[in-house]
Structure 1
Amino acid sequence: MGRNSVRRAVLDAEDTIGDLVVERIVAEIPAYRALDVRQLAEVRAIALWILRRILDSWVEGAELGVEDLARVRGIGAARAADGRPLPSVLRAYRVAANTAIDQIVQLVEPMLTVPDTIAFTRLWLTSFDQLTEAIYEGYSASAERLTTDRDRALRDFLDDLLVGRQAHPGAAADRSRALGITLPSPPLLLVAEPADRRGSRGTAPAPAVAPALRLGQDLAGALCPDGGTIDPDAGPLVTARGHRAVLLLPSRDEDAVRAALAEHGCRGCAIRPPRPDTLVDAHRLASLALDLAPEDAYEGGPLLGESDGHALALLAGRPPAGPEAMARQLLGALLDPGQEHVRQGLDAFLAAGSATTAAARVGLHPQSLRYRLRRVRELTGRDPRRSWDRFVLDLGSRIAASPLGAAPGD
């Protein structure tokens, strides 16, 4: 039978081979026993990709290509960033190779001619040498970069989290350990830009990464003064995305963030992502808010929040959540049990436009209505007398009042 038939027979059994490879690696290498399900799935996927590439090369009478080895160097670099020991990584490849060969022999030995067997063995040995060298090169280069350019390594980590690379909690924990840091918990993601860089609508400001990075470092120093020169073990991660600074901070009071932004002449949006793998959505929402926020959104100060981002995303036709969750984001504690009278006063004010007229419509003394509006400010941080805050509260009230926005049982 031909080599293509052998290849098909092996690939038909690749699920079994992949499961067995992971099982053997975990059994034989202690460092891999701590990996979570998602990380083990990555190990399995890499092993099967290498198996397919070697089979393809054998069928074609070729060797692994430059792109293949570049990808393996990237895998080696990622393992250094994860903090996985190099001897364990190399041993994992040996275990995977031995397991795969054992399975291939059992599956297709009767189908192989002597020349094919010799060719396959030579290719496998050559490929394994190339793979090992590529892993070592990628791992060593990444490890050297981690130790000699720590600031760049920390920026790279945040950049990866913002686009979803190695953002799974297990992978993020491994990389944090390798860098000798602890991710902020609970975290605050702050995206900031100079107040005079907004430009005209539809025209993005020209990238200026160095000034943006300096802005991020200045804000980090102001918000985390206990970190001295931004001690990464205790403080924030900082990077730049175009003309904007992005900071991942330990949770901070909004008044402190607002004051730091004002001091440095900039505007920003702060989101509180629950986990590293939600940073992608948080960054996207904060960036969208800064892209779209009208001037009156800053009447209360230079800081936008998550509810502002949700309102603007909804206006842009990109709602980040369902109606019930949107109403909760926009109205916050106003939806808590026992606040119905406050919401009633708010709705009356939104419909009437003045406290006196609203009070008359619902049969309240104007002072009672004003008290309810003060409670709105206390519960949401929004002042219904400001145009943008009034718009967000009105939007949230309308969503909450709709059948789609009502919680089950309401």
Structure 2
Amino acid sequence: MHEVNEAAEDGAADLRSLLAFENTGLLRTLCAPADPGARVRTVTVGLDDLDTGPAGSGSLLLAVGAAPDAATVREAARRGARAVVLSHVPGEPGDPDDQVPPALLDAARETGVAVLARADGTGWGEIAALLRSALTYARAAAREPARDPFPDLGTASSLTALAARVAASVQGAVTIEDTGLRVLAHSPTRPGADPLRQSVVLQGRVPAWRVAELRRSGLLRRLWTSSEVLHRPASDQDPERLVVAVRDGRELLGSIWAAADSDAMAPDAARHLRHAAALAAPLLVRERLRESGETRQREAALRGLLHGLGDRRTHAWALGLPGDAPYAVAVAERERSGPDDDRSFDLLALEASAHPAGAVTLRDGDRMAMLLKGESRTASGAGAVHAAVRGLRETVASLPDPVTVRVGIGPTVPIERVDESYDRACLAVRALRVREVRAAAAGTPRPDRCAESTALGATVEVLRVLDAVRPVWDSGHSPVHDMIRADRAAGGELVRTLAAYFDSAGDVPEAARRLSLHPNSLRYRLRRVRERYGVDLDEPDTALLIALAVRVAAGQRGAAPC
């Protein structure tokens, strides 16, 4: 049999973990396996080289020369394959048809085989090399090392375990960081830890002011250019520190920092750090590969769920989420005028992930989406979602005044309808902004900045209608269209006047107060509407059209759709 990689009897790797090493976009998961824990033992090229029945079980088949259709999937399943990679199929990004053929998905679901697609223009050799490396790496990660070259540090199968062992050897506190000074692992923090270490561990990275200080002192440059353990003496505020760069050959991977806790570090602490740097190199490489692949895979899956693209249950599988749980989407939007260093999204993500059922987050500039999961197979499965919502409300309410973050929550739905919950959450964020603008204009107390879409009533529905009306309005021609277009070109004063007039339900004194005008000045502007454009505000249909036009033209004061 022509195989890309030989496998031992117990050398299987979890398929989801295997795909996490793929961070280049060469493969796309079309349908998840029936078994969430499906394992792969070997990669096989071509149907003819795949043993029939149990002998082929555990194979990941590269369907070279086979048609990318349902028949190939069924034949691969008959021969025992766990997963099959097809050549380019409809539904790839950029295709006019954005739907994978239903017959192909039906065959995958019936047989339980995972189906992946090879990106157009990608060679089979490249795919084979990628999967061979990933399978080898996954096996190596699962095996215990045959020999530890540094027995005084013990064995360490993860960066966290290594940090703890190094801390015990150097008799200090240890952090392992990447080249961006982001904390990947740290030893347990003692109650008496210095404030800088507490800040670094809590924030997950070295603060910007500290990075600037390290640059000014030259320590950062010496760290990245030296293979020696560097010493930073204790000062009035900081304890003694040792640091060493972690390298793989000439490639810089990160660094290991050790700080004295309450007592001095061990006399041979530098030797332990040098040994730890050698042990950390393969762990950092593995972390980089896995993290980048998992990040890309999870982001693609979550985007697919939020926007209703592809097979929803396959996206849930890629995220490690059950397909039978209830879900709700929360969308947080941050005001661009807020402080550059505010950590409101970090707090919200932490709050969302803290509740027992968990959450998945996706950040995109000043917007963050949080997929909140309920409990599977329970009558009160939505209870966990509501608990998370309560926590989000409390977090938003606790944010400092200079930070403006609004959070809208969509309804609780099954996995197939997550995109509906996302759309409603986006509408809710816009509705919160509209209500806050109106409250400011009316001089009333500011409303809450976190709410479920169902609690925002007509405002959400009006926004949904306006989104549908906008293309129809843009293509129309009437005196009202001429008036709105001319005013927008001139700066939009009339649109703002009419918006205040309609928001005040035709109450001229109240509208004038909102505009800081004398009521007679407002009446004069309204008369100009009739005289200049021939538009009668008292005619019902005209009044309705103007009200819609003003809302569309104003764009709800910048509250744009998601």
TM-score, normalised to structure 2's length?
A: 0.29
Normalising by structure 1, report the TM-score.
0.38
Judging by fraction of residues, say which structure has more helix: 1
For the pair shown, which has the larger CA radius of gyration, 1 or 2?
Answer: 2
Question: Structure with the greater relative contact order (CA < 8 A, sep ≥ 6): 1 or 2?
Answer: 1
Between Structure 1 and Structure 2, which shows a larger proportion of strand residues?
2
